[in-house]
Structures are given as C-alpha cells and as structure tokens.
Amino acid sequence: MASNAPVGKPTDMSSPRLPKVAGIDSTVPAPPDTVAPLPGVPSAAPPSDAALPPGVLIQDRLASWVSDLTTLHELTERLIKTDSLDGALREMLGAGAALVGARRGMAVLEPADGLGPTSTIGLGLAHADLGTIETVPRGSGSYGRLLDGLPEADPPGAGLPDADPPGAGLPWNGPTAPRRPARVPEPIAIRDVRTEEGLDPRHREVAARLGYAASYALPLATEEAGRLGAAVWLYDEPAEPDERRRHLIGLYGRFATEHLARLLQVERARARVATVAEELLPSRLPRVPGVRLAVRHLTGPQGGGDWYDALPLPEGALGLAVGSVSGTGPSALAAMGRLRASLRAYAVMEGEDPVAVLSDLELLLRLTEPARSATALFAYAEPAQRRIVLAGAGHAPPLVVGDHRTEFVETSLSAPLGMLTCWEAPSVELSPAPGETVLLYTDGLLRRTGDATDRAFARLHAAASSVPRTDRSDPGAVADHVLRTLLPGGLDPAVEGEDVVLLAARFE
C-alpha cells in the first residue's frame, strides 16, 4: 500500500484527529512511531481529558467507541475482499501497521499442522531485509517464539475441574474424550531492543542494521483455527502500542486469522484437485519423429473434467485427443480418468478410424454413465506424411497456425457423447504444411474469456494470428502466446469449474 511504504524517519509522528462524531472532536494522542492511516480509514485513540464533566465524558467515550467500530468495519471490509493468501497477508500487514502505529512489518504464514503452504510477506522491507531478520535465532525472535510456542491442543482432561463435568462417565482417556481448542499465546511487545533483557546478541545486531528499535508481535491464531502464523511490526524508536491499540489489533487479528483459515482451506483444496487432475493426465508427452508437441493445462478451483492425450501408435502414427466431461469436482475427475483410459484402448485397436473410436466411446458412456455427457475430439496423425484424420463429438474445431494461414478446420457437426441417437458425422482429413502448428483445445478456453461464443472464437483466431514469427517454430511458445493474449489475468474467477486445455502439435 502506498500509505504504508517506507518513508524517511519522522521527527514528530502523530495520528491525525478523528472525524467529528455527534459534534465531538476526539483528540488522538501522538504515538512514538506511526504512519498515516489507510486511505479513508480514521485512526482511533481514546480521549485523554479525564477532567471533563460526566456528560461530556460519556459522550466523548461513545464517540470514541463509534470511531473504533467504524475503523474496524472499514478494515475488515477491505480484508474480506482479498481472495488469495498473499493478498490477505499484505492487507492485514498494512492495516495492522496503521492500528499499532508502526511503519514496517513482516507476516509469516506457517500453519501448525505442517501441511503448508508457507510464505513470508514484508511491509517496507526488501527481500534482503526479510532474509536478514530470519538470521536471528528462531527462539530469540518474537515471531519465532509465537510460531514455536503454541501447542496444538491440550491433552484429554487437561485443566478439567475436580468435580464431574457434564456428561460424567465419559472415558476421558478414551477415543471419545473431548479435546479443548488450542491455546492462543499473548502478543509479545519489545519496547526497546537495546535494553530488553534476554535478547540474543544477533537480534540487537540485526535491529541496528535495519534501523528498528522496538517491535510488536501478534499471533495469527484463534482457538478454532489453531496457529496459522504470526505478524510483527517494527518501530523506528522505542515504543509499544497502548492498551486501546492492543485491543483494536487483537480484534482485527482474530478476524484476519479466521479469514486466512478460510483461504487456506480453499488453497489446499485447489492444490489437491490440481494434483489429482495432473496424475490422471499424461506425465509427459511422447517424442514422435516429424512432430513436436506442447500442452498447457490450467485447473480451476473446483477442478473440471477437461483432459488431453497424446499416444504413440503403430507404424510411427500418433493419436491426439482432447475432451471435456460434464460436471466439476472429484466425480468429474474420476469420469474423466475412465473416459481417457477407454479412448486410449480404442485408439490402439482402431485409431486409424477416428469415427470408430468415438463411436465406441459413445456407446461406453451411454451404457456405463447415462447421466453424464462429454465432448471429445480424436485425431489420427501420420507425421511422416503430414496427414491428419480427425473426428469430433460436440467439440470445438482445431485451429491451424502457420506463416501463410490461420484458420479453423471445417469439421462435421455432431452432438456430444451421451446425447447421440446414431453416429452420422464423418471424419475429415487435414494436411498441415511444413512448420504449421495445429491447436487442439477444450471449450474451457473459450468460456474462460467471459465472452459470447462467436466473440470468443474471433478472439482465439486473433490471438493465434498475432503469434510472432520468431515464436512459431516452438509449439510451447505458440501455446503460451495464445493463453497470454486470451487470458491476460489468468482464469476468469467468474466462470467456476472450467478447466483449460491447449494442445499444440507442430509438424516439421
């Protein structure tokens, strides 16, 4: 954030005055080291004049509480809009700096269960500065003590009263024994690094090198979420937040931890889905003389059923396939794996006739999974002759990219697999010129653009036409250029469950 970026060392740092609430102008005491508040977010501090008349004092306190609630509301609203772990950590770090009156800080994500992911984010600290801080012995640093000192949970029966609790008779030491949530450690404030007792000499050395004199560390942990990490804010002068600021950062920290816990679950689920999807697809593409292959596969958060295959066939032939199974999640992934395995078997037996391959696949899908549909395209390629015979079932046509043409292949129209009454669409034959690349892709590539179908096809054609000539000899570079042009921001989050597959085959 621009407001939390490093600035020169201030001479008289203070928070701005709170806006008037119900006619009350609350004065904010000057903390020893602070930054300007986040844009649009008022700072919060209690009134300091205890000699006010009772009515005015009560009104002043009410105005202060309203200001605190407004501050927390605006900060949490900004936090909840983040949809990634790194984004949430950066937002939390900047908001926390404004609340505790610090200029720099560091957040460490390190879930206690050891399943990851882990990351370290800095505010006003370069990458080298973060590395320098990490040279301090972990047990000496405040954030390290928070990360290592939080137990997962109390043992069964720990801290239980002597009297029988509700539900007496339960086997407290047995498998059904209730377990208490994890304890949350207290924040650690170091008011002056130079005079603090028990600090490792390396800690003082690093503080002097980076120019900070005090720190305030907050655990990113709640009883429900457990320990997710820790955040530490650094002051340029000896300082520590007052009781009110501690209370505010504590409330915000608990909310931020719960938000991080939700994002962590999403990230882990996404990683598991991507792992399963990759395991169901080829681990590597085959090497066949006369053709070079490249593939790009992007998986959405829920995992779709898009797939691809490249299979060496007898007499130097090559089978290329792309397809998509309806649905999302584990069931779609399982169906995709079964469909791909079946197509490989049919391709080995009768690959030179793509219509027969897809006809057998249609019959299998109709008999074994009548509630599911799928699209598929299978191409029988003879690289030595630069000849391709292909057939599709409800699938988008391939795109040929070369120096002299960029055009879609005219394929016969057919309904998706599982929706046919009889097979009527014949195969088509294609003869790519030397140096031309044939792009096979799934419908997810078009849908992820967020455009209507006709416009998505036009954008795909324009992206393929704009591939630089220097990149056209590399099928991977062609695929990357098309993806960057069509999806400059990655997968469109508004389109759930759609994977993207782009298979490029360049003929020599």
Q: Domains of the chain (ranges plus CATH)?
A: 2-153+180-271 (3.30.450.40), 281-507 (3.60.40.10)
User: Smallest Cα–Cα separation from 471: which of 482, 459, 487?
Assistant: 482
pLDDT: which is higher, 111 or 497: 111
What radius of gyration do the chain's Cα atoms show?
31
**What is the rounded CA–CA span in Å between residue 405 and residue 194?**
71
**What is the rounded CA–CA span in Å between residue 180 and residue 440?**
54
**Beta-bridge partner residues of 501:** 297
Q: Which residues contact 345 (CB under 8 A, 6 or more apart)?
A: none
**Beta-bridge partner residues of 406:** 401
* Both structure tokens of 19: 């806006």
Residue 50 — very low, low, confident or very high, per pLDDT cuts 50/70/90? low
Worst-scoring range by mean pLDDT, 43-47, 256-260, 348-352? 43-47
Residue 181 — very low, low, confident or very high, per pLDDT cuts 50/70/90? low
**Mean pLDDT across 484-488:** 91
pLDDT in tens, 243-280: 999 999 999 999 999 999 999 998 888 888 778 877 88
**Mean pLDDT across 443-466:** 92
User: Smallest Cα–Cα separation from 188: which of 146, 158, 156, 234?
Assistant: 146
Q: Phi/psi of residue 377, each to 5°?
A: -135, 130
* Both structure tokens of 191: 């008011």
pLDDT in tens, 421-446: 555 668 899 999 999 999 999 998 99
